[in-house]
């Protein structure tokens, strides 16, 4: 395996940044647990329109959580790569992705050519 061209200073920064983002995602997930619960159909207090609003709100909350889960998986995978030797290498061509691109998003898996 080739030497890792990601400078140690960058690796430390990516690590801290990814951990912080993961923490934010978990906090956001915890804070919105109630929004994703099944909608209780209560004829007394909830009219048809507001029931639809509630179902729509629940669907949106679930979609957002699904996006958060996807991002959390990408971050966890990037943290695992950072801990090992394969961080920063394009998963398609094997070239180094480059710190400029990794600075934008350390979870990126492909170099600019392969991402096109
Ligand atoms: Zn590539």
User: How far is the centre of ligand 1, averaged over its atoms, from the C-alpha of 75 (Å)?
Assistant: 20
- Those residues whose beta carbon sits under 5 angstroms from the ion ligand 1 are 90, 92-93, 111, 114
Using the CB atoms, write b or e for 45-55: b if 16+ within 10 Å. Answer: eeeeeeeeebe
Terminal-residue alpha carbon distance, the chain: 26
Bridge partners of 96, per DSSP, are 89
pLDDT by 10s per residue, the chain, length 116 = 455 678 888 999 999 999 999 999 999 999 999 999 998 776 665 577 788 888 999 999 999 999 999 999 999 999 999 999 889 999 999 999 999 999 999 999 999 999 98
Q: What is the pLDDT of residue 45?
A: 57
Q: Report the pLDDT value the prediction gives residue 7, as an integer from 0 to 100.
A: 85
Entry pTM = 0.84
CA-nearest of 109, 105, 107, 84 to 96 is 109
Helix (H) or strand (E) holding 50: helix 48-83
Rounded to the nearest whole angstrom, what is the distance from the C-alpha of residue 99 to the centroid of ligand 1? 14
- The predicted structure's pLDDT at residue 85: 84
Q: Which residue has the tokens 């983002």?
A: 21
Please report the pLDDT score of residue 26 as a whole number. Answer: 96
**Residue 80 CA, ligand 1 centroid: distance in Å:** 20
Report how far ligand 1's centroid is from the alpha carbon of 35 (Å). Answer: 40
Q: Round to whole Å and give the CA distance between 95 and 82.
A: 16
pLDDT confidence of residue 1: 45
Compute how many other C-beta atoms are within 10 angstroms of the C-beta atom of residue 75. Answer: 21
CA of 94 to the centre of ligand 1 (A): 6
CA 105 – CA 37 distance, rounded (Å): 32
- Rounded to an integer, what distance in angstroms lies between the CA atom of residue 82 and that of residue 73? 14
Residue 25 C-alpha to ligand 1 middle, in angstroms? 29
């Amino acid at each position: 395996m080739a030497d890792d061209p990601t400078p140690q200073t960058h690796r430390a920064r990516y690590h801290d940044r990814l951990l912080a983002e993961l923490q934010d995602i978990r906090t956001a997930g915890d804070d919105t647990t109630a929004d994703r619960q099944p909608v209780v159909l209560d004829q007394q207090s909830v009219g048809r329109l507001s029931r639809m609003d509630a179902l729509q709100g629940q669907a949106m909350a679930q979609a957002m959580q699904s996006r958060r889960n996807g991002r959390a998986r990408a971050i966890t995978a990037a943290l695992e790569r950072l801990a090992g030797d394969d961080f920063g290498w394009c998963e398609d061509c094997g070239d180094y992705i480059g710190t400029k691109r990794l600075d934008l998003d350390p979870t990126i898996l492909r170099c600019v050519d392969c991402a096109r």
